[in-house]
Chain A
Amino acid sequence: MASSHASLGKTLFWGGLTAILYGFLFHYSDEFLRLAHTTVDACVVQKGVGVDYYHNPIPELCAEKGGTVVKGTWWYVFAPIAMAFALSYTHGLFTGLFWDVLGLKAKK
C-alpha cells in the first residue's frame, strides 16, 4: 500500500507540473505565435482582435495592408524546442505513472 501511495503522490506532482506548463503555453499562445512567425522576416498586420502574418514581406505591400515589417530573430526557434522538451519530460513521466496507478500493466 505504501508504494501505491508514493506512486499517487508522484503522479499528482508530475501532473501538476504538466498542467502548469500547458497553462503557461496557452496563456501566452499569442506570444508563442508571434515568436514562431517572427523567427523569419514577416509583415505583421493587426486585424481587430487577430493578427495576420505574411512571410517574405515586401515593404510597399505591407504598408498597403497597414502592417509593420519585422526582422526575423533566428534564435526564437529555441522557444518551441524548449517547450517540447519540457512537456515531453513532465508529461511523459505523468502518463507513465498515471497508467501504472490505474493498474494497466504489460503481460509478463
Chain B
Amino acid sequence: MEHGMELFNFIELDLTTSIILILVGFVGGMVSGFIGSGGAFVLTPAMMTLGAPGMVAVASNICHKFPKALVGAMKRHKYGQVDVKLGLVMGVFAEAGVLTGKHVMTGIKHSFGAVGTDLYVSVMFIITLAIVGTFVFRDYRKLKNMSEEEQENVELTRIAKWVQSVKIPGTMFYSHAAKSELSFLFLIPLGFATGFLASAIAVGGFIGVPAMIYLLGVPAIMASATELVIAFVMGLGGTIFYGLEGAVDIRMAMLILFGSLFGIQIGAIGTTYVKDYQVKFTMALIMLTVLFSRFFYIPGYLSKLGMIAPLTADTAQKLKWIGDGVLYLALFVGAFTVISALLKGMKEHREQQAVLARASAAD
C-alpha cells in the first residue's frame, strides 16, 4: 500500500448488484418500518458484502436515511409524538459525536486503508449487535410472559426517576416527552455516544432510543419518534462530514432508497397487526443473525492487514461465502417474518370482520 495515496473507488454497479441493492433496501425498509428504528443495521453489512469499503457503506447509508428521517419526524409530529426540543438538543451533541467518530474512521482509513475501515465497522457492529440483540431478546421474553395490562403500564425505571429529579440551575429545559424538566448535561454523553456509534455503523438509534426510554423516562413511542429528529440532524451532518471526505456513493444510497421506501410502508402497517413482543422477537433474531455473519469476514480482513498469517485464497473465499450466506439468511428471515405477520394479521382481521358482519346480519 502506498503511504499517502489511497485507492478509493466505489463499487461497479452492474444490473445484478443494482437489483440486490434495491431488494436489500426493500427488506431493510420493511424491518425498519416494523421495528421502528435501526432497520438500517442490515444495510451497512449488505453494502460491505457487495464490496463497498466500510467507510463508504456507512457514509452512503447515512445519506439515504436523513431525508427519510425528516419526513418521518414531520409525520409523527402531527400525532404529537415528537419532542422537538429534546431531539434538537440531543442532535447537537450527537453531531459532536459524529464528527469525532468520522475523525476516527478517516484516521483508520489513512493508516490501514479501506480494509481497515471494514474491520473497524465490523467490530463495532459485533459489539453493538451483541449487546443490543441480547437485551432486546431478554425484553421480548419478559414482555411475552406479561399480561396485556402489565404491558401497558411498564413503570419508569429507578434511574429515569432519579434523572428527572435532578435540578442543576442554568441547565434545565422542559421535555414534554418525559413530562419533566431535564438537565441537558445528561444529554451530553447520551447524544455524543449516539452520534459516535452512528458514524461507525450508520445506526445511532440503538443508543438513543433505549437511553431516552430507560434513562430519561420517555415513553417508547415518543422515544422512537423523537429519535427521527436526532437521526435527521446526525444524518445531515454525517453526510456532509463524510461527503467532504469523498465517501458518499449517491448511486448506492438511492438504489437502497428505492427499495426502502416501498418496504417501510409494509413494515409500518404490519405493526398495527402484531403484538409488541413479536416485533421485539423479530428484532432480536435479525440482529443476532447479522452479528453472526460478520464473524466470518474478520479473518479475511485480519489477513489482508497482515495482522495474522495470510489465509489461502481458497479459505478466504469459503469464509466470505459463508458470511454472505448468513447475511442473506438474516435478510430473508427479516422479510419473511414481517410479511407473514402482516398476512396472518390481515387474514385474522378479515375473518373477525366477517364474523361480526354475520352476527349483526343475524339480528
Contacts and interface: CB of A to CB of B under 8 A. Distances in A.
B2 A61 contact: yes
B338 interface: no
Interface stretch (B192-200, B266-274, B319-327): B266-274
Q: Which among B66, B68, B243 has the greatest number of chain A C-beta atoms within 10 A?
A: B243
A105 B346 CA distance: 10
Interface of A is mostly: helix
Contacts of A40: 244-246
A92 B71 contact: yes
B250 A83 contact: yes
Interface stretch (B84-92, B202-210, B257-265, B292-300): B257-265
Contacts of A9: none
B106 to A, nearest CB: 10
A106 B273 CA distance: 8
Given A92-B71, A92-B261, A84 B239 contact: yes
A52 B5 contact: no
Interface residues of B, number: 45
Interface residues of A, number: 45
Given A25-B251, A99-B266, A104-B269, A88 B240 contact: no
Nearest 10 A/B pairs, CB to CB: A88-B67, A77-B243, A80-B250, A107-B272, A95-B261, A106-B272, A40-B246, A54-B5, A58-B4, A55-B6
23 contacts: A25-B250, A25-B254, A26-B251, A36-B247, A36-B249, A36-B250, A40-B244, A52-B7, A53-B7, A55-B5, A55-B8, A56-B110, A58-B5, A80-B239, A83-B250, A84-B66, A88-B257, A89-B71, A91-B258, A92-B68, A92-B71, A95-B265, A104-B265
